Amino acid sequence: MDVKITGRLLIFSLFKRQKMILHLILIMLLTIILGSLFLPPTYEAATAVMVQGRINQEILMPLPRADSSRTVMMNPKEEVNTEIEIVKSRPVMEKVVKTLKLYDRPIIQETGFFGTVRTIIRKVRSAFTWVLTKIGLVSAPTEEQAIEMAVLKLQKALRAEPAAESQIVRLKYRDRDPVMAKKVVNTVTSDYLRQHMMINLNKAQCSFFAEQIDIVKADLKKLQDQLVQLKEKTGLLAFEEQSRLILKQLDTYETARTSIQKEIINIKAKIEKIQDLRRTNPKLLIPLPEIAQDVQVQDLENKLINMQYQLNSVNQRYTGASRQVETASSQIKELDKQIRQQVNQILDRELAKLKALEAEKQAVEETVASLKKEIERLPAQEVALSNLNREIDTKQETLAILWKKYQDSLIAQNTDERLDNVKVVSFAATPLKPVSPNLVLNTILGLVLSVVVSLSVAFFLTYWDDTINLPEDVERYLNLPVCASIPEL
């Protein structure tokens, strides 16, 4: 009996308030339709970039290894997320804003009735802002502030989304101007590729060897010129037997000096590379694989990897503000600090070793100088010729070593997979149709929403209506029999 009465009351309330329901439906539906018509159309342009997997040498976090060198395959998800961060990095965003002048865009002139109304509204709002600026109520942003706001707006509007089950990253951008939407997303893609190249390309080592080659070539040319002049002046001379012993000693010390010079060049190149990597990537923990050979660094590194794995596990079970996460994070920071201190100690040892080699080189050079004074008692022409030939040979050996290292560095640089692991699948075209507002979809959703809201209001009013409307209500609440009822006319 109660169920029948409840259903009847609901149906009765709908018919009783059918005008109100229809009015609410019409008002809400018209509001949604007019709002959709007055909303400016937005166009979306998109590009697709493929991030290929790569194999990197162990530079940042090498695993413990024995004698053979090993490599680490980077996680494709980490690779994609890294490239997304580079896409939305400030250098890329700022360059796009300055290139397209997004901080100073004119008002878009739209056609049609609703487009004209939207254009007038924007012009009125712009004029109102100008008046407020002139009277001093609102301060006009400087060019730097305008660029900063445009950069933040672009970072928020640009969407970089990885496609499911692939290594494709889609860059999407929405704008009221379809041509500008295409320009923005294509410019972002181009500037991102350049930024990717700048981050991964390291020319410091090649530049160092090239500078050393130029210096050695200049010294070698001077020596060769001196040799030619000496030969033209004196002709070729045979060495006397009594000079062979001294010359042999001199040759031994010259060889030692050459070896020391080679080692000094290698250490300088290593130190230069470490310092350059630290300047370009301050977050890098272990700049070179040779440093990872250190026992203490390996031990700290293993602890850091285990702690990072533990932190990932804790993050899956606890929130970021939990004590477990904070403890793991603090331990990771401490291990990071210890690794950096150990790397600094290794770098200090290399610097000390470099100073010791330079001192040893100075001592050898002093010995060589004393031997040369001894040789001066020999015929001057023979000594000069011998010295020039020896120095030329030394310079040629040094030049050969430097040239080989320079070629190796060029090959390593040009074959670095980090420079070509990102490729553009397709650039954006000018969108022909706006993605929003969708009038048909908004109308359907508005109709559904208006019906639900109207029926809910009717049911709510019925729920709070305590008047007697049906004969059953009299029998139920007043316990009186109903003999007849008069219909509403």
Residue 236: predicted pLDDT: 47
The C-alpha atoms of residue 454 and residue 443 are separated, in whole angstroms, by 16
Lowest mean pLDDT among 159-163, 459-463, 469-473: 469-473
* Angle 376-380-382 from CA coordinates, rounded to 5°: 110
Across residues 477-489, what is the average pLDDT?
68
Mean residue pLDDT of the chain comes to: 75
Residue 257: predicted pLDDT: 82
> How much is the pTM?
0.46
**Cis, bond preceding 437 (omega within 30 deg of 0):** yes
* Most confident listed range (49-53, 252-256, 268-272, 385-389): 252-256
- Using DSSP, state whether 176 is helix, strand or coil: coil
Alpha-carbon dihedral of residues 110, 111, 116, 118, nearest 10 degrees? Answer: -40
CB atoms within 10 A of CB 86: 19
* Most confident listed range (31-45, 144-158, 230-244): 144-158
DSSP per position, 229-294: HHHHHH---PPPGGGHHHHHHHHHHHHHHHHHHHHHHHHHHHHHHHHHHHHH-TT-S--STTGGGS
* Most confident listed range (104-108, 165-169, 410-414): 165-169
The C-alpha atoms of residue 256 and residue 253 are separated, in whole angstroms, by 5
Residue 2: predicted pLDDT: 41
DSSP 8-state class, residue 464: T
For residues 173 and 281, which has the higher predicted lDDT (pLDDT)?
A: 173
Residue 65 has pLDDT above 70, yes or no: no
- How many residues in the chain? 489
DSSP 8-state class, residue 89: S
What residues contact residue 182 under an 8 Å CB cut-off, 6+ apart? 45, 428, 429, 430, 431
Cβ contact 86:66 at 8 Å: no
Across residues 8-22, what is the average pLDDT?
72
Burial tier of 11 (Cβ tally within 10 Å: 0-12, 13-18, 19+): exposed
Residue 63: predicted pLDDT: 42
CB atoms within 10 A of CB 84: 19
DSSP per position, 354-400: HHHHHHHHHHHHHHHHHHHHHHTTS-HHHHHHHHHHHHHHHHHHHHH
Residue 343: predicted pLDDT: 77
Across residues 369-387, what is the average pLDDT?
69
Residue 186: predicted pLDDT: 92
